[in-house]
Structure 1
Amino acid sequence: MLHACFNFGIKGDYDPTRITEKRFYIQHNPVTATKKNTKASQPGNRVLSHEEVRLFWNNIDNTHRVGFVMACAIRFMLATAGQRPKQLLRATWEDYDFQRNCVTLIDRKGRQGTAKIHVVPLTGRAMAILRAVREVSASYPWPFCSGVKGRSGANKGELLPLTLESLKNGFIRYNKALAERASAEGKPAPEPFTARDIRRTVKNLMIDAGINREQRNLLQSHAQNGVDVKHYDRHEHLPEKRESIRRYDALLDKILKGEEITLVNMDTYRQQKELSFS
């Protein structure tokens, strides 16, 4: 953070387009030589089991102080294959196409990042959630809006969609409920998880469903590499995304119904293929 602050000051001093007379007079960035603490920024690796996913889906709406709209938003994250929650919460009713059953999200990296259009196909499960939440939020600009207005800052008094902070609190309250239940049963509390872990969990479920890496990245709007992607590949990839989310939803359906799921052991599969050709 300090490194970024000093860089901001240096660039501001020598930016010919600046409109303010304020100067920082910074000659160099003193934090440049400071080594980054990699241990403090290790990526998470929490992945929910199938049973945890089922319990989460079935019980999030019964969690204390998690409202109906919030529960719908959390389930919608799962139903749409782990889309980024910030983009889902900010999407308005106008971003939804109920003829093609899809939603257009704006994918932007960083404050000055170039906006990228990300079209997500919606399954019957996702459409059912939208129909349910429409009973509450049809008169608001956003599906996932509880009618609460901003209480402070620049948005004070303005109607807002659900915020990431509210979403975070929803996960905290669900984890707390799990911990209290485990304590009452004399069991250790399960490892807590966040919205980011849901996205990672969905990625693993798509692997279980046999969706290849390219299609997984398309569906979750990860950066695509290559000259052809940058210059020529600008269509929405809707057919591929529809097939991927169909396969993912079929697996999710079995998980939510508590059905036994047998996954292919790839090492065993490869050995059998080798024997069949020998």
Structure 2
Amino acid sequence: MANPAKVKLTKTAVEKLTPADGKRAIYWDSEITGYGIRVMPSGSKTFFYQGRVNKELIRVTIGKFPAKNAEQARKEAKRIQGQIADGQDPRPEKEEAGAATFGDLMTAYGDVLEAQGKLSAKAVKNQITRDIKDAFPKLWAKPAASIDLDDCMKIVGRLKDADKPRQADKIRSYIKTAFSEAIAARGNVNMPAAMRRMTITSNPAREMRKVEGSSKPRSRALSIAEFRAYWRRVKLLPEPHRSLAMLHVLTGGQRQQQLARVTLEDLDRDAMAMTVMDYKGRRKQPRVHVIPLLPEALECIDRITGGGPYVFSHNGGETPIYADFLNEIAAKIRAQMEEAGELENGHFTAGTIRATIETRLMGKPYRVSSDVLAQLLSHGTGSIQRRHYVHDDFEEEKLEALEKLHRMVEGRDEPSAQVIEMRARA
């Protein structure tokens, strides 16, 4: 039972304190409210401070006497009292969590992506450094638990006001996901220790709405005439631009970031196929995407490959093509087409070529099914795999689609079924 008497906990007073009737006793300091010492039947004495944080009664151990002397314990009690008065939680585990900054959180999030094998991890880290750390150093150093909605709005709003809606929404998503991961990490021992120690309990970015204009639907597709004009001008380009742009079309308009990873080891010349590793979305393991190669595609590969390992390269395979390589080609040809009066519906990019291939192959006279196109372009395959046997890799169908695509850009007619007359019996 606690002793109601109060005494100033000086060295002399503490030395004289004894347990009450052989039982544990608590003595409170007469000057510092909440500061006390616990005396056990064994004679051990422990300084502590007791108070309320957000209506929760807490007790913080200061140390044992005499290892912690009375003067040291008194100073520590005053420090804790001041923390509570400022609305802080003085418990050691809370102090450790509170010491984790917003920068620590975002850095840990980048490390999580890296540990998951995400190829986007490096790019995400660079964006976080540029758009948060460098742009808002004070927020970067602010305790993660103190970040609020207004702080998040400052970061995202700066990019939106700079007319960068797509980047603004990416940063919004990174912040929101980082906080979500930290909250989930409290119950997931598989998460990095740095993330688990955050003890984040709320997500200030949860209420942030998607940035308007960050994702515009790709409704633009070249007409057949425009696509053929594009192809003709691609074939007039100097090497290696000519073969690279041709190969982009002849392989079905695959995503450039996936093409850039293709190496000579991913080619099977006997089977006339190329393997692309599709890391798109939240996959932890890439989808193996096999693309048939037309003879014309192999000819393009032979013209651009050299001593380096990369197939889609402008310097003989030493390095892969950079991010805007195909877009720069598309922009150059677009200007030529506009000047020549070949452009019917305005602006297009390298991404438009992919949309064009899908759109035109679905229509007459090609009529390639959406299932085959999904396999060829490596998107939306989940439902298809449920409808078909897992072992059905669509090799023949994908090859037929690419042959139709080649006839389309070359302006050749689709072969029609030959009608054979049956002679009447005599």
TM score, norm. by length of structure 1 = 0.72
CA distance in 2: counterparts of 1:231 and 1:188, whole angstroms: 40
**Equivalent residue for 2:218?**
44
Among 402, 410, 415, the alignment partner of 1:256 is: 410
| Contact 1:10/1:25 (8 A) holds in 2 | no
TM score, norm. by length of structure 2 = 0.49
- The percent identity for this pair of structures is 22
**Equivalent residue for 1:97?**
268
| Contact 1:3/1:32 (8 A) holds in 2 | no
Amino acid of the structure 2 residue aligned with 1:108: Y
Q: CA deviation at 1:58?
A: 1.8
1:214 aligns with 2:385: no
Q: CA deviation at 1:222?
A: 1.8
Alignment map for 1:42-191 (pairs within 5 Å): 42-60=216-234, 62=236, 68-110=239-281, 113-133=284-304, 137-147=305-315, 159-179=318-338, 181=339, 191=346
CA distance in 1: counterparts of 2:273 and 2:224, whole angstroms: 26
Ranked by relative contact order (alpha carbons within 8 Å, sequence separation 6 or more), the top structure is 1
**Equivalent residue for 1:242?**
399
Amino acid of the structure 2 residue aligned with 1:191: G
Deviations 1:75-123 (A, max 9, x none): 1121122222222222111111110111111111247542111111111
| Contact 1:10/1:24 (8 A) holds in 2 | no
Q: CA deviation at 1:228?
A: 5.6
| Contact 1:178/1:190 (8 A) holds in 2 | no
More helix by share: 1
Question: Could you list the runs of 5+ residues in structure 1 that have no partner in the other structure?
Answer: 150-158, 262-278
CA distance in 1: counterparts of 2:218 and 2:384, whole angstroms: 31
**Equivalent residue for 2:202?**
28
**Equivalent residue for 2:179?**
9
**Equivalent residue for 1:267?**
none
RMSD value, Cα: 3.4
CA 1:52 to 1:31, structure 2 compared with 1: closer, same or farther past 3 Å?
Answer: same
Size of the aligned set, in residue pairs, is: 240
| SS of corresponding position for 1:90 | coil
Question: Could you list the runs of 5+ residues in structure 2 that have no partner in the other structure?
Answer: 1-169, 415-426
CA distance in 2: counterparts of 1:204 and 1:6, whole angstroms: 35
| SS of corresponding position for 1:164 | coil
Q: CA deviation at 1:35?
A: 3.2
More strand by share: 2
CA distance in 1: counterparts of 2:361 and 2:228, whole angstroms: 16
| Contact 1:118/1:236 (8 A) holds in 2 | no
